[in-house]
Structure 1
Amino acid sequence: MKTSENGSPRKFTNYFVLPCVTDRQGFAATLEQVYFETSHTRCYVSANVTGFKCVTGMSCSMRKDALDQAEGLIAFPQYIAEDYLMAKAIADRGWKFAKSTQVAMQNSGSYSISQFQSRMIRWTKLQTNVLPATVIREPISECFVASLIIGWAAHHVFRWDIMVFFKCHCLEWFISDYIQLRGVQGGTQCFSKLDYAVAWFICESMTIYIFFFLSALWDPTISWRTDCYRLHHRGTAEEFLDV
């Protein structure tokens, strides 16, 4: 490994790339596109700006020598959330991560609204298993819950009307997400503003459904393609037959 001017090891940067969805037909495709280019992008960009480790297995580039220092791929086969744990192991050894200026266009092989919901529930199970603090952090980082909390605070501090503040805050969030989506897509989209509005509302409401109705926490099993796994501590899993 090369060294810096003061003789210390130089930790070359590993990259993560924002995953996005290319244009496809149907409302399910619109739902995926709106989620990845609003909520998902917002989360990863915010984490990068504030200095948190932020890597997604769908689109990342890790140096082989950095991964080798973390005991290589052989150290992670028992995990389902291996992308997070690989990134953490590499970062703990002093390597840096940076967000690429490009996006990674990727699509799931098949798509539907039910498959999208199942995917979100699977991710939520993994997040709450590996990082239990997300049970609190995730809901309050989304539009409706955050707007209610901020509206309540504004009412007590400034005596503003909670519902008026809530509606204005949600509208500002909705418009900001639309501007972000157009920026990620280069200023064009293949769906109407009405489709965007409906898809955005579903995406923002789904977090409340997943967490507050405990649909992601009720059952510690995960279905992945044609296999089923039972989650254990810190994202370890064992395969079992779903009979």
Structure 2
Amino acid sequence: MALLDLALQGFSIFGFGLFIVLWFMHLVSIIYVRLHLNRKTTEKVPYSKLAGVSLLKPLKGVDPNLINNLETFFELDYPKYEILLCVQDHDDPAIDVCKKLLGKYPNVDARLFIGGKKVGINPKINNLMPAYEGARYELVWICDSGIRVKPDTLTDMANQMTEKVGLVHGLPYVADRQGFAATLEQVYFGTSHPRSYISANVAGIKCVTGMSCLMRKEILDQAGGLIAFAQYIAEDYFMAKAIADRGWKFSMATQVAMQNSGSYSIAQFQSRMIRWGKLRINMLPATIIEPVSECFVASLIIGWAAHHVFRWDIMVFFLCHCLAWFISDYIQLRGVQGGPPSFSKLDYAVAWFIRESMTIQIFLSALWDPTISWRAGRYRLRCGGTAEEILDV
């Protein structure tokens, strides 16, 4: 009985500790978003003296929004930059899109690289290698094909690249689009994702996604160049780690990394979340406790602790805690959006509930199978973040 009582007491302490940590994360992310995001760019470097930037753009296939997304990069208001468009396959329809934009904007410094260079298992690195080797400027901006930007996005990022900063990244978010799948993505990237992403960075944990990253090329070259990260699927994590290990700081842009893919569905969202979960579990095994940071599981644990110590009704506490979480998430979403979302509060409620209900299934799916499908390949993940390609026999 003594051991049981001790175990119950320990679980209660864990529950209250979890309550403090999770609500601290809520508070930190909400305040950070309000103070930092969607603010007018502060000019730290005179416009004419901003460092030159080589934009590396990995492309594969065409979705309905590709040409519009790409065109925003040709219309950037920045004194000195080049666009390096990278396509792996010679028959990829993205080549025609690139050629159309190159013809439309002859005064923009832009080049098309076709064929890539096989240096490892990571298809994105293989695709970018020729462009990286031909990049002319001191800053390298790797930005995914589904991202769209504003004319001053690069100016904002370059102004964050102060003397001791080696990497500037954008908080991933999603543009307004039609349909419930779009709402689901926007709710996730406006609530759960920024809460963990921002609070980790504020706490000094280098949490970076590679959707939009501006980096000092000399630091990457010191780490061995892009080829040094070709053995990993999550190359963004290891590039960020290499930069941090060399004593450089990170900074977050005031503008979000606006995802605007024209191809999206609930199934695609689930597959993406499962793939990310597999990568996190293999790179950082401690993330196996992630489910306790999600609303429903956390509310049950904290509710049980409150019942054990204070004899409060578990179900009443669970419902009240979920309601408080739901409201704080909506406040967070409005902050990331920079105003009210394009969908109704009812749409938000349905999408929020479905997203939270998916978390256990997504986690178990990620835990069950260590293989992932990405781009045109399948890969078996190894502990530590490396992977091997699974070749069809």
TM-score normalized with structure 1 length: 0.89
Which one-letter code corresponds to 2:378 in the other structure? Answer: C
**AA in 1 matched with 2:225:** G
Within the alignment, does 1:198 sit opposite 2:353 as a pair?
no
Aligned counterpart in structure 1 of residue 319 of structure 2, from 167, 175, 180: 167
User: Which string of whole-angstrom CA distances, capped at 9 and with x for unpartnered residues, describes residues 75-127 of structure 1?
Assistant: 00111011111111211111111222221111234111111101111111111
Matched, 1:154 2:306: yes
Q: Is 1:144–1:170's contact at 8 Å kept on the other side of the alignment? A: yes
- Structure 1 residues 196, 242: closer, same or farther in 2, change over 3 A? farther
Equivalences for residues 117-132 of structure 1 within 5 A: 117-132=270-285
Q: What is the distance in 1 between the residues matched to 2:319 and 2:330? A: 17
The question of 1:185 aligning with 2:337 is answered yes
Report the Cα offset of residue 192 of structure 1: 1.5
Look up the SS of the partner of 2:256 in the other structure. strand
Written as runs of structure 1 = structure 2, the 5 A alignment for 1:45-64 is 45-64=198-217
Q: Secondary structure at the match of 2:191?
A: helix
Cα pair distance change 1:242/1:216, threshold 3 Å: farther
Shift of 1:13: 4.3
User: Structure 2: which 5+ runs fail to align?
Assistant: 1-162
The count of aligned residue pairs is 231
Instruction: Return 57-66 or 171-180, whichever deviates more.
Output: 57-66
Could you tell me which residue of structure 2 aligns to residue 5 of structure 1?
none
* Residue 73 of structure 1 pairs with residue 73 of structure 2: no
Divergent runs of 4+, >6 A: none
User: Does the residue aligned with 1:102 lie in a helix, a strand or coil?
Assistant: coil
* Distance in structure 1 (CA, Å) of the matches to 2:225 and 2:251: 21
Classify the secondary structure of the residue corresponding to 2:359.
helix
1:199 deviates by: 1.0
Query: Which residue of structure 2 lines up, in the alignment, with residue 133 of structure 1?
Result: 286
Give me the identity figure in percent: 81
Where does residue 223 of structure 1 map in the other structure? Answer: 373
Match of 1:40 among 187, 193, 197: 193
Code of the residue aligned with 1:217 in structure 2: it is L
2:244 matched to 1:94?
no
Query: Are 2:167 and 2:240, in contact at CA under 8 Å, matched by a contact in 1?
Result: no
* Residues 1:98 and 1:157: Cα distance change in structure 2 (over 3 Å): farther
Structure-2 separation of matches of 1:38 and 1:49: 16
**What is residue 164 of structure 2 aligned with on the other side?**
11
Residues 81 and 126 in structure 1, CA contact (< 8 A), matched pair in contact too? yes
Distance in 2, Cα, partners of 1:173 & 1:196: 13
Q: Compare CA radii of gyration and give the structure with the larger one.
A: 2
Aligned partner of 2:388 in structure 1 is 238
Residue by residue over 1:125-151, the C-alpha shift from the partner in whole angstroms, topping out at 9 and shown as x without a partner, is: 111010111111x11111111111111
Task: Give, in whole Å, the separation in 2 of the partners of 1:193 and 1:72.
Answer: 47
CA RMSD, aligned part only?
Answer: 1.6
Shift of 1:208: 1.4
Paired residue type of 1:173: W
CA contact (8 A) 2:191 2:333 kept: yes
C-alpha distance after superposition, 1:28-73 (max 9, x if no partner): 1111111111111111111122121111111222221222222221
Cα pair distance change 1:168/1:228, threshold 3 Å: same
Distance in 1 between residues matched to 2:195 and 2:384, nearest whole Å: 25
Following the alignment from structure 1 to structure 2, what is the Cα–Cα distance between the partners of residues 141 and 135? 11
Q: TM-score, normalised by structure 2?
A: 0.56
Q: CA deviation digits over 1:135-172, x for unaligned, max 9?
A: 11x11111111111111121222222111111111101
Distance 2:359 2:223 in 1: 33
Code of the residue aligned with 1:14 in structure 2: it is L
Checking the alignment, whether the CA contact within 8 Å between 1:16 and 1:54 is kept in structure 2 is no
Distance 1:51 1:163, change over 3 A: same
